[in-house]
Amino acid sequence: MKNLILTVIAVCSLNTIQAQDISYKKWVKEAPRLEDSFFTTPKAKEVAETVLLYQQPTGGWPKNINFFQTPDNKEKALEIKNDVNASTIDNGATTTEIIYLSRLYNATHDETYKEAAIRGLDYLFEAQYENGGWPQFYPRPKGYYVQITYNDNAMINVMNLLRDVSNGKSPFTYLPESTRQKAQKAIDKGVECILKTQVKQHGKLTVWCAQHDRETFAPAKARAYELPSLSGAESANIAIYLMQLPNPSAEVIQSIESAVQWFKDSEIKGIKIESFINKDGKKDRRVAPCEDCKPMWARFYELETNRPFFCDRDGIKRYHLSEIGYERRNGYSWLNRSGENVYKEYAQWQKRKAEFNLQMQQNSD
């Protein structure tokens, strides 16, 4: 009876997700949160059929697909499936599907799901550059999509998944030792790439751009409003990832300390983002003064001056949110509190580092 109740709850939960919001964002957000009991239901297999339908010949998946919904037009779905230039790690694509299929395999032991998940992992291994970076899209041949991409945590999402693979963590307990070793090798190369792309400002290590040139490692432009810069959003999760590495090297430690110092130096105090109704009767956003509010960080900082800036689709820097158009003002996260998570992780990391240093000293005595 208990299992029956859990199954009903799982199915009802998914149906609620579909009814409330049919966007792909629900897929990448909710799929990892599904209860284990859901994967024993017929609905789990139904979702998997859609996931398998869209898996591309590369082994990867396209982005912005809501796999909770069966496609109305299968011909269109097959057209998307066969467009290999659409294979990507952007917006949680590919990593979310690998995790889902792995969980379903563990629940059902159906080799179809296992094989598809392994093909997805092979795609991630193949897409990695020799220098350790991952492009946003692979094998798309040109455009900003080929640059090393931290934007929206694309590369860090991959490295988090591979860390679980390497450690044999659920749901990847079924993978052989050879795959775990391959994942660790990819992680090591990825960390080297992170260290090489950390930007120096007047000779001092700071943080990272949202994307970097795949050959020179220099900060690179993406969309018109995403100029070469220091990123207060993407850099947070990069720094946190480095702090979670076991036995960090001296280079990693220096990278972490430099990044944390940059976050301290780059705090924006005394402001908040508030919603209001503008003169056209539309919901809008603006920067407003506030007292005793937590610091914020900008999405973009100038490479030379470290000054926060905003940008519209015309590609022109502006220094006040009100100076860019309504669409970009409200359609992008320009200010955030990502540094808070960096500080929290750093406090824990300092404790781990002290313990590690003590152990190293004891071993040398």
Residue 360: what pLDDT? 65
pTM of the model: 0.91
| pLDDT above 70 (res 7) | no
> How is residue 292 annotated by DSSP?
S
- Per-residue pLDDT, 247: 87
Bin 300: left if φ > 0, else alpha if -120 < ψ < 50, else beta: beta
Closest to 13 in 3D by CA, of 32, 30, 25: 30
Contact 242, 342 (CB under 8 A): no
Whole-number Å distance between alpha carbons of 183 and 341: 26
Q: Mind listing the pLDDT tens digit for each residue in 241-283?
A: 999 999 899 999 999 999 999 999 999 999 999 999 999 999 9
pLDDT at 12 over 90: no
pLDDT higher than 50, residue 5 = no
Please give the structure tokens belonging to residue 35: 């209860």
Beta bridge partners of 274: 286
Residues of the chain with pLDDT > 70, as a percent, come to 92
44-65 average pLDDT score: 97
Q: Enter the tokens of residue 280.
A: 């056209």
Closest to 171 in 3D by CA, of 121, 111, 104, 119 = 104
pLDDT category at 9 given cuts 50, 70, 90 is very low
Q: Closest by alpha carbon to 70, among 108, 109, 42, 32?
A: 42
H-run or E-run covering 298: strand 297-298
Question: Residue 171: is it exposed, middle or buried by C-beta count within 10 angstroms (0-12/13-18/19+)?
Answer: buried
Buried b / exposed e across 150-170, counting CB within 10 Å, b at 16+? Answer: bbbbbbbbbbbbbbbbbeeee
Q: How many residues does the chain have?
A: 365
Residue 170 and residue 47: Cα distance in Å, rounded?
Answer: 20
Residue range 182-228, pLDDT digits in tens: 999 999 999 999 999 999 999 999 999 999 999 999 999 999 999 99
The pLDDT, as a whole number, for residue 25 is: 81
Residue 4, pLDDT above cutoff 90:
no
CA distance 280 to 346: 44
- Determine what percent of the chain is predicted with pLDDT higher than 90: 87
Over residues 156-176, mean pLDDT = 98
What confidence score (pLDDT) does residue 275 get?
Answer: 96
Show the DSSP H helices in 109-172 as ranges: 111-127, 154-166
Which position has the token pair 């296992």? 114
Query: What is the DSSP annotation of 221-284?
Result: --STT--S-EETTHHHHHHHHHHTSSS--HHHHHHHHHHHHHHHHT-B-SEEEEEEE-TTS-EE
Q: Are 240 and 194 in contact (CB under 8 A)?
A: no
Q: Which amino acid is at 324?
A: I
Mind telling me the catalytic residues?
91, 223
Q: What is the DSSP string of 18-59?
A: HHH--SHHHHHHHGGG--GGGGGSHHHHHHHHHHHHH--TTS
The predicted pLDDT at position 240 comes to 98
230-231 and 204-205 strand pairing: unpaired
> Residue 353's pLDDT is what?
83
pLDDT of residue 62: 96
pLDDT in tens, 276-331: 999 999 999 999 999 999 999 999 999 999 999 999 999 999 999 999 999 999 99
